[in-house]
Amino acid sequence: MKLTKMEEQVRSKQHYGLSAEQLEEVFPDLVYEQEDGTKSINYVEMVPILVQAINELNAKIETLENKEEATTKKAMQPATDNSNNEEKLLLLSLSQNKPNPFSNSTTIEVCIPEDVQKAFIYVYDLEGKKVEQVDVTARGKQNIQLTSAKLTDGMYLYSLIADGKVVETRRMIVEK
């Protein structure tokens, strides 16, 4: 007897399944018992449950990543200003360049706490090659002017590096 193309494919591929007994403990409505006592799984009704579980896990991952990012930023920004007996935390940050896209020059706002030893802005092309480096020697909130003199038309990534750690990375576009 000759098999159809579909039957050949079904027989030639590896198949996956779940244990009906294990699934029945958690989702009894998805498991059906046949007249001969064997059990089958309604995989179609399982899809929305899996999608919901994936969405919940993604939300938890995002929450954890945000907490980790906040913790990392907090650890890198202990500089304080005790003026008027109020403790003010200076946040280590890198803002989006303005204007973006730009043709001649653009401004990047950074904030560097006093206790940061060395800070730089590195500009990378999309191949990951560093094309420019700006030393940020002043501390506090400030504007850094960046010109397009060393850059060609295209998209670039720029990163704030503080004491050897990448703080943030953003994108900018040069259109001459």
Q: What is the CATH number of the domain that holds 149?
A: 2.60.40.1930
Statement to judge: residues 51 and 126 lie in one domain:
no
Give residue 84's region: left, alpha or beta (phi > 0; psi -120 to 50). Answer: left
Residue 82's pLDDT is 45
Residue 59's pLDDT is 82
Statement to judge: residues 62 and 134 lie in one domain:
no
The string of pLDDT tens digits covering residues 102-151 is 999 999 999 999 889 999 999 998 888 889 999 999 999 999 999 999 89
Statement to judge: residues 105 and 158 lie in one domain:
yes
Statement to judge: residues 69 and 105 lie in one domain:
no
Statement to judge: residues 115 and 40 lie in one domain:
no
DSSP code for 104 = S
φ, ψ of residue 159 in degrees (nearest 5) = -125, 145
| Within-domain flag for 78 | no
**How many whole angstroms separate alpha carbon 134 and alpha carbon 160?**
10
Statement to judge: residues 116 and 146 lie in one domain:
yes
Statement to judge: residues 65 and 105 lie in one domain:
no
The string of pLDDT tens digits covering residues 17-44 is 889 999 899 889 999 999 999 999 998 8
Statement to judge: residues 96 and 64 lie in one domain:
no
| Within-domain flag for 169 | yes
For 35, 44, 62, 116, 125, the CA distances from 144, given in Å and listed in that order, are 76, 56, 31, 17, 19
Q: Predicted confidence band at 76 (pLDDT cuts at 50, 70, 90)?
A: low
Statement to judge: residues 116 and 167 lie in one domain:
yes
Q: Determine if the pTM surpasses 0.85.
A: no
Place of tokens 């059990």: 39
Determine the residue type at 53.
Answer: A
Where are any strands of DSSP class E within 8-112?
31-33, 39-41, 80-81, 88-89, 93-94, 105-112
Statement to judge: residues 103 and 169 lie in one domain:
yes
| Within-domain flag for 9 | no
Residue 73's pLDDT is 66
| Within-domain flag for 160 | yes
| Within-domain flag for 12 | no
Our count of domains for the chain comes to 2
What is the separation, in whole angstroms, between the first and last Cα of the chain?
70
Statement to judge: residues 31 and 65 lie in one domain:
yes
3-class DSSP assignment, residue 29: helix
> H-helix or E-strand containing 102?
none
Statement to judge: residues 102 and 55 lie in one domain:
no
| Within-domain flag for 86 | no
Range of the domain at 135: 91-174
Across the chain, what does the average pLDDT equal? 84
